[in-house]
Structure 1
Amino acid sequence: MRQIVLHMGISLDGFIEGPNREIDWHLVDDELHQHMNDTLGAMGAFLHGRVVYELMADFWPTADADPDAPEIIREFAAIWREKPKYVYSRTLQEAGWNSTIVRDVVPEEVAALKAEPGGDLVLGGADLAAAFLRHDLIDEFRTYIHPVLIGRGKPLFRETEFWVRPLRLVETRTFGNGVVLLRHERAREGV
């Protein structure tokens, strides 16, 4: 069965974006970008919230049209454009590039999606992650810790009334630019 994998870049102080939605502090060099291409290219589908979808849709559909674009950029543009996307939004009326709009996180629908053949499902966005957490639907957490402090912005995890435990650290990786991957899996009972 496919897994739901939360995949997010965060600052050392826990933010996914600055107070004005800035993400220009992300330290993405060729090594990290190639890792992302390899990792995300193997996934079966993207699960986006509206904000993440719109951010991605503003750049990736035509990023490979620039003849001067690096190969790494062209490669990810094709991955994003061709990969199935499920966009969770109550307001978005249409979405292109192999996207399906989903209005609510319904555990039975997510279970059916997980039961389909193919690679794991990559989840992006703090608000969508919170909704998936409320339903205990996240199987793996991949956080890419960027060695910067931005002081304020949108945190990856907000205060909740529940705990997610235990988690098992299954991988760490330090990239040449100082970004550190922490990969945790859920340690579910009976597994």
Structure 2
Amino acid sequence: MRELTYFVAVSTDGFIAGPSDEFDRFLVDGDHAAGIWHRYRGTAPTELAEAAGLAVDDGPFDTVLMGWNTYAVGLPALPNPYRHLRQIVFTREHEAPQGAEGVEFTDRDPVEVVRELKAEDGAGIWLCGGGGLAAALADEIDRLALKLNPVLFGDGVRLFGDLPYRPTALRPLAITPYESGVVLAEYTRG
């Protein structure tokens, strides 16, 4: 069975974006970049990876899931951001923009969609954001891979949106600190 991995950059205080969806304070350069790319190859938009000379094949995922706000970060320049992956965007209010051929837009229940995807053959499924979608899929997430950044946001989009209080045990798989201050923290369900 395929696994769902929530792989995302997060501030030390638990935000994946600022109050106006800012994410420019996350470190993209530094000694962490190569190590994390090696482990999670294929998790950059296709066009950006190609421009940087990074291979997108043979990564751990063949499918990426996004909420509309995460997807919209690249618009209008990147309406088909991860051409090398199957892309599914969850939205109840938006239509596919011009140039989004190959991107699936759905208003279906995310849990139902993920359970169907897990039953299919293939590589891993990557949840790349956002916090509200992560909250809806919290019970379906098999792995959590956090690029913990040494920055405090104070407010913004929470890692798991407005997930109600319900402690869930996670088991650490690997904790990799880098000189840049970024820590890759990987967990699985306890």
Q: Identify the match of residue 117 of structure 1 among 118, 121, 137.
A: 121
Does the 8 A contact of 1:170 with 1:185 survive in 2?
A: yes
Cα 1:161–1:21 change in 2 (3 A) is closer
The CA distance in 1 between the partners of 2:110 and 2:88, in whole Å, is 13
Does the 8 A contact of 2:110 with 2:136 survive in 1?
A: no
Unmatched 5+ residue regions in structure 2? Answer: 43-58
The CA distance in 2 between the partners of 1:17 and 1:26, in whole Å, is 9
Quote the residue 2:85 is aligned against: 83
Quote the residue 1:67 is aligned against: none
Asked whether 1:128 is paired with 2:133, we answer: yes
Alpha-carbon offset, residue 32 of structure 1: 3.7
Q: How many residues align?
A: 169
Asked whether 1:141 is paired with 2:141, we answer: no
Cα 1:50–1:40 change in 2 (3 A) is farther
Letter in 2 for 1:161: P
Quote the residue 2:29 is aligned against: 29
Does the 8 A contact of 2:30 with 2:180 survive in 1?
A: no
Q: Write 1 or 2 for the structure with the bigger share of helix.
A: 1
Unmatched 5+ residue regions in structure 1? Answer: 63-76
Alpha-carbon offset, residue 40 of structure 1: 4.4
Does the 8 A contact of 2:134 with 2:161 survive in 1?
A: no
TM-score, structure 1 normalization: 0.78
Alpha-carbon offset, residue 109 of structure 1: 3.1
RMSD of Structure 2 on Structure 1 (CA): 2.3
Q: Identify the match of residue 107 of structure 1 among 102, 111, 124.
A: 111
TM-score, structure 2 normalization: 0.78
Runs of 4+ residues deviating >6 angstroms: none
